[in-house]
Structure 1
Amino acid sequence: MAQEDDPTRDSAPDLQILGDQITLQPRSYVEPAQQEKEEALMHHMARFRSEPLQFLREVSLYVSGTGWRAYDKVIGQPIFYSGFSEQMKNAVVSAPLLQDRIRQLADLRLEVEEKDGWLRKDDPDFEAKKAHRRSAIHQGLHEVADKLTSDMICKFESKTFIRGAYYLVTQLLTRAYHQGIHVSSEEVLRLRKVAEEAERKKQSIIFLPSHRSHVDYVSMQLICYRLGLALPVVVAGDNLNFPVVGAFLQHAGAMWIRRSFGNDSLYTTLVQTYIDTLLQNGYNFECFIEGGRSRTGKLLSPKFGILSFILDSLLSGRVEDAIICPVSTQYDKVIETEGYVTELLGVPKKKENLADFLSGGTSVLSLKLGRVDVRFHEPWSLRGYIDDQLKKFAAGSVPRDLSVRTPETVRIKQKLLRTMGYKVLSEINDVSVVMPTALIGTVLLTLRGRGVGKTELMRRVEWLSNRVRAKGGRVAHFGTAPLSDVVERGLDVLGKDLVGVVSGLAEPTYYAVDRFQLSFYRNMTIHLFISEALVSAAMYTRVKRGGGPAVQDIGYDDLRSQVLFLSSLFRGEFIFPADGLAANLEKTLVGLEHDRIIHLARDEGGNIITVGLSDEERTAGRENYDFYCFLIWPFIEASWLAATSLIGLTPPLNQKEDIWIELAKAQNSAQLFGKTLYHQGDLSYFEAVNKETLKNAYSRFEEEGILYVVKSKDAKTNPARLRISHDWMPSRDPATGDLVPTGRLWEFTEKIASSRREGKNRRDGATVSTRVLHLSDLLGKRLFEEATRGPDGAKRGGGAVVGGGGGEGEEGG
C-alpha cells in the first residue's frame, strides 16, 4: 500500500502495557491476523471471583511496591514523602507575596477602626494600642491563611496510599472502560524527553486538558503514574470536596479552589502564592482550559481564571518558565452524558454527595463504555510564547514592568490570555482522535429520513473517516480490524437507548433514539468541518428556493456577507481557523470545489463570481452538501430561537420606566419557548433548546450591544439582569400593543432565519410574524409582570437596576 493511501498514517501506534511489560509498536507494525483484539494501555486486572490466586498476587505486588509499582524512579521533582504537605504549606504562608497582602489588609483594617473611633489618636497609649491591634489582626489573618492553605493544597504524602489508589481506580476504570486507556507511543516518548529536560531545569509541566468528564483527571493521573512521570497537582472545584471522596482526591493530587472568589483578596493572593510555589519548585500542574466540563461534546471557550494566575507568575518574574502541554481526552462514551442532557434541558445540577458517588460507582462497574484515547500535543515554553507575543506589540507600547497593574498592562495581559487560550484549544483539536461512536452519531444525525441501513451506515462512516483525515484530523486506530467490526463495536457501546435497530427488514436499519444525547457525539467532529458548514448554510439562503442553478447560485459578495455574519454569530461557540475570514473562505471554497460538491464561476481575472451546487452533487441527491448543513442547523436554530425570544422582551406600551429582567429567567423562558415551538412544528431540532447554546447566544447578543446586562459580585442575592438596548428595541402597534415585525432586531432575526432549515410549517414567513411572535410576546409579558411585583405579589415601584461587573468562578467540574 502506498504511504499516501495508508488510512492509519495520521494515527500514531498505541503504547501497549501488559502487566510489567511496555511494548512500543512501530508505525509499520502489522497486527497478526490471529490477534485482532485491540490491546489497551491499562491491562485488565484479575478479579477475585474468577481468578482468586491471580487477584491476590496482584494485590501483593502493589502492597510491596514491586517493579514499576514502587513509583521510585519518577521523572520530575520528588513527591510522596513524609512532611511534603507541611513543607508546602510553610512555603506558601511564608511567601513574600502573601505576607505583603496580609500587612496591607491589616493596615486597611486599622484605618477603618481609626475612622470608626475604635482607636483614638488623642489617647496617650494610641501608638501602643495601635501596634497591639495590628499584631492581633496580623495574627488573625495568618491563622485564616494557614487554615485556607491547609484546606486547599494537595497532600502528596504516602507512596503506599498512591499505590493502593492506583490499583483501586484502575480496577474501577477498566471495568467501566473495558477496552482501557490508549495513548500514542510517539507522543509519550516525546513527553518523557520533555519531562527529563524540565526536571533538569526544575521547571513545571502544565497540562491543559479538554474537559468532558470526571474521568479526564483520573486518566491523566493513571497515565503519569504508570509511565513514571511526577503526578500533577490538579485544580478542582470545591464542589467535589465532600466527605471521604474529597480527602481521597486531595491525597491523590487535587487542590481545592472556590467556584467564585468574589472580593476576597486574601484568598485570591493565597491561590496565586500556591501556584507560584508549585511553579518555582518545578512541580507538575494541571488545570482545565475550559473551566468546567463540556456538556455539549465540543470544546468550550477558554476560561482565564487559573491561566491568569499562571501568566502573572511569569510576567512578575517570580517564575522563570514553565512548559505548556495541551491534552485531548476522547471517549467512546462519556459516563455523565445522561446527566448532561437533564441539565441542558433545564433541570438544575444536583450537588455532589457521597451517597450518589457510591451508588453511581456501583452502577458504573456494570457498564461497557469502550475505551479512552488520550493524546498529548507537543509541549512548548510559556516564556518563549510570551516573548514572541510581546514582540508583536508596537515598539515602545509594552511597559518594562508588567507586574504593575495599569490600564496598559491589563490590556496586554488580556490579549496574551485570549491568544494563549485559543492557541491551546486549537492544539487540543489538532491532536484529538475521532472515536467510532462520534462517527456513527454524526452520520445518524446528518442523514435525511427516519433511519439508515447497515450498508449505507458503513459507507457513510467510511466517507466521514476519510473526510476527517483529509481535514487533518485523526480517527482512532484499530489495527487491522475491518470497518464492519469497528461500526458494530461503536453501536454496541452507544447502546439501544441511543441507537435503535429495526429487524425483520431486508437489512438491519438503524435510527437515532435519543437525538439530544447523540448530539454530544456529533459535536465531537463539528470543529473539523465548521468552515464548510458555514459556507453551506450561507449557500442555503438560495438553495432553499429550489429550481436549477439560475435560481440557486449565490453571488460571491452575498455569500461572503452571510458567512461573515454567521461566523460572528458563532464566535463564542466554535474554535475557528486562525487564517482570517478571506483566506479561510477562499481555502474552503476551493476545497469544496475539489470535492465536487460545489462549482465556482470565475471572471477573466480568476476571481470568484458565483457559487452553486455542482452537477455531481445534484445527481448524488445533495448528500454531502446536506451533511455540512445538518451539522450547523441545530446551532442556527438555537440562535434564531434566542433572538426571537428576545423580541418578546419588548416592554409593554404603558411601561414608562426601564424594567430589567433576570437573565436566568429570560433564558429559562427562551428554553420553554423553544420546547413549545418544537412540539408545535416551528422548530426543527430539539437540540436547539440546549441551555448552554442559548446562554452562548445571549452572551453574543450582549457583546454585539443588542442586550444590556448588569451583574453584581454576589449573584445569589443580586442576580444578573438584562434589557434590550434602545437602539435595538422593537416597536409595538400603538392601537393594539402587538409586536410589529420590523426594525433592527427583527431584521437581525430574519438574517439568521435565512439560513435555517426549511420545513412544512416554516416556509411561510407570516408564521413567524404572527403565531411565533405572539407566543414570544406572551412569555415576555409574564416576565415583565413578575419583575414588577415583589415576592408577596405587591406592585413594586421603579425598575432601574444598578450593578457593577462581577467576578465569576472559573474552575471546577
Structure 2
Amino acid sequence: MASSSSKDKPREPSPSEQAPDLSITADDQVHLHAAGYDEAPERGIVSSFARFRSSPLDFIREVSLHVSGTGWRSYDDFIGQPMFYSGFSEEMKARVLSNTMLVSKVRELAEKRVAVEAKEGLLGEDVINGGGRGEGGNDRKRGRRVQIEESLMEVCETMTDNMICKMESRRFIRGAYYFATQLLTRAYHQGVHVSSEEVLRLRAVAKQAEKDKHSIIFLPCHRSHIDYVSLQIICFRLGLALPTIVAGDNLNFPGVGSFLQHAGAMWIRRSFGDDQLYSTLVQAYIDTLMQNGYNLECFVEGGRSRTGKMLPPKFGILSYMLDSIASGRVDDALICPVSTQYDKVIEVDSYISELLGQPKPKENLKDFLSASSVLSLKLGRVDVRFHEPWSLKKFIVEQQDRFSKMPQRLEPKDERLRILRTLGYKVLSEINDVSVIMPTALVGTVLLTLRGRGVGKTELIRRVEWLGERVRAQGGRVAHFAGLPTSVVVERALEVLGPGLVGLVPGLPEDTYYAVDRFQLSFYRNMTIHLFVLQSLVSAALYTRVKLGGSAEHQRLPYTELRDQVHFLSQLFRGEFIFPTEGLDYNLSQTITLLEQDNVISVSRNPSDDTDVLFVELSDTERETGRESFDFYCFLIWPFIEAAWLGAMSLMMLTPPSTHSKEAWLDAKKVQDRAQLFGKTLYHQGDLSYFEAVNKETLKNTYTRFEEEGMIVVVKPKDRKLPSTIRLAEEWIPTREEGKGGIEAKGLLWTFAERISGSRREGKNRRDGATVQSRVLSLADRVGEELWREAVEGRGDAEAEAVAVGRAKGRGRRRVFAGPVARL
C-alpha cells in the first residue's frame, strides 16, 4: 500500500486558472473553451445534422472539400516523418525484410532444419548426423539451406504484408478523417476535448522529435474502441503525424481490416506462442518504425478495461519497444502516456454481459457497424489528456544506474524484467495523473456510495460538489464546467446516463434519483476509485472494529491491528489496483495523517513520541456528520472486498470429496464459471451484498492472486487444446466432518476468508455466523459436485500432465496470507 499527502501534491487550479480546452466537433471546427463545458459544441452538432438532412448539396460540397484537401484538410504540412506517398508500403516492407536481425534468424532456422534433415537421412546416405561425405553432401546441404531460407523469406513477406500499416493515400486519410469525425462527434455530441496547453507542448515536442528522427510512442489507457479513433482525429486535426497503431488481428476481418490497415493499424497476433520467426518479424518492424522516427500507439493495458478502472500493464509489445532502445538498435524514442475519458462508453452493455459470464462474441462487420445505432443518442463528450513526453533512453539509463548501486547485482534478464515492469507501472501512474473525472463518473460514484435507496436532487448536487472537492484535494482533475451551475452539469450527466442506469421516482415533492443498474453504473464509479483507494483500505481496516458497534472507545483500533489488516488487504488487491511504491509504513503514515487532517479519524499517539501511533478511531466530527466521508471510502472498496471473499469461499468447491485424491485436478475455466454461479446464488439469497462482485474480471484477478501466493496450483498443458487444470495446494485443503462429510469451518482457507470478511459490509442476513457458515459451506459443496463428477469422467492426458507439473510448481511458493503478516 502507498499514499501521498495532499500537501505534497500541487493544488489543481480553479477553472478560471486552467488552460482552455479545445473541442473538435462535427462542423469540422476547433472550438476554444474558457472552461470546457460550453454550449457551442452542441450548437455545432445541431447545425451539422440540419445541413446533412436538409441540404444534400451542402453536404456533398463538404465531403468534396475533404477529398480534394482544401485548407487545413490537405494535411500537407504535418509534423513528423514523410508518409502518404505512392510506394510507402513497399518501401517499409523492403526495410523490414532486409532487417539484419530477421535475416540472421531466417538463416539460423534454416541451418537447424538442415541439421535435423541430415540427421534423419533425408539428404542422402552420404550426409549423416549433420556431417557430409565429400563435396556432394556439402553441396546438397547448402542447396537445401538456401531453399529453406527462400521459403522462409516468402513466409516473412506474406506475414509482413498482412502486418504492416499502409498509410499511402492522403486522399484516403482525409476521407477516413471526415467519416470518423462525423460518426464520433454525432455520438459524442459535446465533441472531443483536449487541453490547449498540453497540445501546444506536444506540438513543440513533436517538432524536436521530427528533427531528431525520434518516434513518439503514445500509450493510452484502453476503455473503448473509440480510444484509437479519437487519438487519430486529434493528430490529424492538429497537424501531427498519425501514429501506427498496434492492434490485435481479431479486428482484421473482411470489410474493416483493410480500411483500418490503410488508416494506421498494424495487425499482430493475440499470442505469438513459440513462433520465433513471427516474434523476430514483429521486432524487426518495430525497429524499422522507430529507426525512421514514425510515431506509434499501443495500449499498455493490452485489452479494453471492462470494469472502468485501469488494468495491470501487459508487457508484450512494450518489451519490443524497450528492447529496440536498450539494445542500441534505436537511438531514442519519446513516451507519451495518454488518458481518454468518456461521459459514457458505447460498449458498456456488452462489457456487462461478458463480466456476467457470457462468452465474448467474435468481432464481425455487423457488430462493428452496430455502433451506428447509438448515433442518435447523446453520449456527452470525450476528454483526451496528454502527459508530458519523456525520453525512453534516459529512463533506461536511470534504471540501470539504480540497479548498479544495489548490493547484489541482478542477472541481465532479471534487470530487464524489472525495468520493463517499472516502465509499465510508471506509464499507468502517469495516465492516472492526467486523467479527468467526468460528470457521469461523479454522479455514478455518488449514487453508489449512499446508504439510502435514492437521493433528492438537492442532496445529489451537494454530494457532486463535495466529491469534486475531494477529487481536487487528492490532486485529481475534474472536467471543466465552464462556470455552469453544478445543477446543469448534474442534469447533463443524468441525461447521458439515461433512465436505464438512473431512475427518477415520479410524484414526489422533490425529484429523487436511484441507481437502476448498479452493475453498469459501477463502471463509472470505478473511474474515480484510484484517487481514494488508499483511504478506502484504511477505512475498511478500521471498519473491522466500527462494525462491532458499542461506545466510541470500544470502536478504537490499535495501530498494530490496523497496520496488519491494511497490509493484508493491500496484498490481496495488489493485482487489482495500482499502488505507488514508497512502502507500507511511510505511506500508511501519510494516509492516516491525511484522514486526520480531514477530520475523518482521530489518532492517539505516544506522548513521548508523536510519530508513534497507538490507536485510531472515528473522529467526533465524522460521527456528527453521519460518517459521510468514512462511509464513502468504505462503499468504494466494499464491492472488491466482497469479490475477494467470494473468490476465497469459492475455493471451498475445490475440497475433494472423501472418494477423491487430494491431488485430483479440475478444469480451471469450469471452476471459475461455477464460482460465478455460486456468487449469483449467494447474492440472491442475501449472503452477498454486491452483484458486481460476481464479475468475471475481478474473480479472475482473485484467482491469479491465489495462484501467486501458492493457495492454488494451476497448470497450463503444452497442448493448447487441453484445458488448464487447478487444485488446492495441500496445506489449504479444508477438512471434512467425520460421518456427515460436510466441509468444516476451520483451517487456513476458512481463516483466510474470515479475515477478508472482517472488512465486509455488515448485513442483516450475515449476523448469525453459525447459520451463515453452514449455509455457505453447504452451498459451495453442492455447486462443486458437478465439477467433481466431471473430474471422474474426464481423467486423461491433461490430468497426468497436471500432476507432474503441479508437483514442481507447488514447491517453494510464498505464503503471505498463510502465516504472520509479512514485510511488504
TM-score by length of 1: 0.93
Of residues 607-616 and 236-245 in structure 1, the stretch that sits farther from structure 2 once superposed is 607-616
Q: 1:440-461: CA deviations, max 9, x gaps?
A: 0000000011111000100100
Please say if residues 79 and 206 of structure 2, whose CA atoms lie closer than 8 Å, have aligned partners that are also in contact: yes
CA distance in 2, matches of 1:318, 1:162: 31
Please say if residues 16 and 35 of structure 2, whose CA atoms lie closer than 8 Å, have aligned partners that are also in contact: no
Give 1:419 shift. Answer: 0.7
Q: 1:500-523: CA deviations, max 9, x gaps?
A: 001210101100000000000000
Please say if residues 789 and 796 of structure 1, whose CA atoms lie closer than 8 Å, have aligned partners that are also in contact: no
Give 1:36 shift. Answer: 5.0
The AA in structure 1 aligned to 2:374 is V
Question: Do structure 1's residue 390 and structure 2's residue 395 form an aligned pair?
Answer: no
Structure 2 residues without counterparts, runs of 5 or longer: 1-9, 128-133, 810-824
Aligned to 1:340: 351
Instruction: Map 1:192-211; keep pairs closer than 5 Å.
Output: 192-211=203-222
Aligned to 1:810: none
Give 1:195 shift. Answer: 0.3
Give 1:128 shift. Answer: 2.1
Q: 1:249-281: CA deviations, max 9, x gaps?
A: 000000001111111110010101000000000
Question: Do structure 1's residue 172 and structure 2's residue 183 form an aligned pair?
Answer: yes
CA distance in 2, matches of 1:369, 1:759: 36
Of residues 600-609 and 634-643 in structure 1, the stretch that sits farther from structure 2 once superposed is 600-609
Question: Do structure 1's residue 564 and structure 2's residue 567 form an aligned pair?
Answer: yes
CA distance in 2, matches of 1:5, 1:190: 19
Aligned to 1:329: 340
Report the CA distance shift for 1:485/1:51 in structure 2 as closer, same or farther (over 3 A).
farther
Question: Do structure 1's residue 766 and structure 2's residue 776 form an aligned pair?
Answer: no
CA distance in 1, matches of 2:801, 2:551: 55
Instruction: Map 1:402-441; keep pairs closer than 5 Å.
Output: 408-441=411-444
Give 1:146 shift. Answer: 0.3
Give 1:347 shift. Answer: 0.2
Aligned to 1:157: 168
Please say if residues 21 and 35 of structure 2, whose CA atoms lie closer than 8 Å, have aligned partners that are also in contact: no
Give 1:394 shift. Answer: 3.3
CA distance in 2, matches of 1:583, 1:779: 44
Report the CA distance shift for 1:744/1:466 in structure 2 as closer, same or farther (over 3 A).
same
Please say if residues 11 and 474 of structure 1, whose CA atoms lie closer than 8 Å, have aligned partners that are also in contact: no
Aligned-CA RMSD value: 2.3
Q: 1:705-755: CA deviations, max 9, x gaps?
A: 11111113553x122211111122221223332211111111111110000
Instruction: Map 1:477-556; keep pairs closer than 5 Å.
Output: 477-556=480-559
Give 1:168 shift. Answer: 0.7
Instruction: Map 1:571-582; keep pairs closer than 5 Å.
Output: 571-582=574-585
Q: 1:301-343: CA deviations, max 9, x gaps?
A: 0000001111111111111110000000000000000000000
CA distance in 1, matches of 2:407, 2:604: 46
Report the CA distance shift for 1:602/1:41 in structure 2 as closer, same or farther (over 3 A).
farther
Match of 2:625 among 597, 620, 623: 620
SS of residue paired to 1:234: strand
Give 1:395 shift. Answer: 4.4
Give 1:126 shift. Answer: 1.8
Match of 1:731 among 735, 741, 744: 735
Instruction: Map 1:574-653; keep pairs closer than 5 Å.
Output: 574-604=577-607, 605-606=609-610, 607-653=612-658
Q: 1:735-780: CA deviations, max 9, x gaps?
A: 3322111111111111100000110111122133211011112222
Match of 1:281 among 280, 292, 299: 292
Match of 1:679 among 666, 679, 684: 684
Give 1:648 shift. Answer: 2.0
Aligned to 1:58: 62
Q: 1:493-544: CA deviations, max 9, x gaps?
A: 0000000001210101100000000000000000000011001100010000
Match of 2:381 among 371, 389, 394: 371
Question: Do structure 1's residue 308 and structure 2's residue 319 form an aligned pair?
Answer: yes
The AA in structure 2 aligned to 1:681 is G
CA distance in 2, matches of 1:318, 1:796: 43
CA distance in 2, matches of 1:737, 1:590: 50
CA distance in 1, matches of 2:330, 2:35: 46
CA distance in 2, matches of 1:335, 1:191: 28
Structure 1 residues without counterparts, runs of 5 or longer: 400-406, 807-813
Match of 2:698 among 682, 693, 698: 693
Please say if residues 680 and 691 of structure 2, whose CA atoms lie closer than 8 Å, have aligned partners that are also in contact: yes
SS of residue paired to 1:392: helix
Please say if residues 17 and 40 of structure 1, whose CA atoms lie closer than 8 Å, have aligned partners that are also in contact: no
Instruction: Map 1:16-95; keep pairs closer than 5 Å.
Output: 16=23, 29=34, 36-37=38-39, 39=41, 45=48, 47-95=51-99
CA distance in 1, matches of 2:161, 2:643: 45
Aligned to 1:809: none
Please say if residues 45 and 189 of structure 2, whose CA atoms lie closer than 8 Å, have aligned partners that are also in contact: no
Instruction: Map 1:93-132; keep pairs closer than 5 Å.
Output: 93-120=97-124, 122=126, 125-132=136-143
Question: Do structure 1's residue 752 and structure 2's residue 767 form an aligned pair?
Answer: no
Number of aligned residues = 787
Match of 2:275 among 264, 268, 273: 264
CA distance in 2, matches of 1:574, 1:282: 34
Aligned to 2:14: 7
Report the CA distance shift for 1:802/1:348 in structure 2 as closer, same or farther (over 3 A).
farther
SS of residue paired to 1:648: helix
CA distance in 1, matches of 2:44, 2:173: 17
Q: 1:27-48: CA deviations, max 9, x gaps?
A: xx579xxx95154899774542
SS of residue paired to 1:348: coil
Aligned to 1:228: 239
Match of 2:712 among 701, 707, 714: 707
Give 1:361 shift. Answer: 3.1
Report the CA distance shift for 1:10/1:427 in structure 2 as closer, same or farther (over 3 A).
farther
CA distance in 2, matches of 1:64, 1:713: 55
TM-score by length of 2: 0.92
Of residues 47-56 and 386-395 in structure 1, the stretch that sits farther from structure 2 once superposed is 47-56
Q: 1:666-698: CA deviations, max 9, x gaps?
A: 111111000000000000000000100000000
CA distance in 1, matches of 2:291, 2:575: 34
Give 1:615 shift. Answer: 1.0
Question: Do structure 1's residue 465 and structure 2's residue 468 form an aligned pair?
Answer: yes
Give 1:131 shift. Answer: 1.8
Question: Do structure 1's residue 184 and structure 2's residue 195 form an aligned pair?
Answer: yes
Report the CA distance shift for 1:634/1:296 in structure 2 as closer, same or farther (over 3 A).
same
Q: 1:8-53: CA deviations, max 9, x gaps?
A: 268532024576765656xxx579xxx9515489977454213434
CA distance in 2, matches of 1:42, 1:254: 30
Please say if residues 325 and 393 of structure 2, whose CA atoms lie closer than 8 Å, have aligned partners that are also in contact: yes
The AA in structure 2 aligned to 1:671 is Q
CA distance in 2, matches of 1:505, 1:111: 84
Report the CA distance shift for 1:746/1:21 in structure 2 as closer, same or farther (over 3 A).
closer
Question: Do structure 1's residue 317 and structure 2's residue 338 form an aligned pair?
Answer: no
Of residues 385-394 and 151-160 in structure 1, the stretch that sits farther from structure 2 once superposed is 385-394
Match of 1:451 among 447, 450, 454: 454
Report the CA distance shift for 1:209/1:796 in structure 2 as closer, same or farther (over 3 A).
closer
Please say if residues 20 and 67 of structure 1, whose CA atoms lie closer than 8 Å, have aligned partners that are also in contact: no
Report the CA distance shift for 1:800/1:352 in structure 2 as closer, same or farther (over 3 A).
closer
Give 1:422 shift. Answer: 0.6
Report the CA distance shift for 1:316/1:628 in structure 2 as closer, same or farther (over 3 A).
same
Please say if residues 176 and 369 of structure 1, whose CA atoms lie closer than 8 Å, have aligned partners that are also in contact: yes
CA distance in 2, matches of 1:626, 1:208: 35
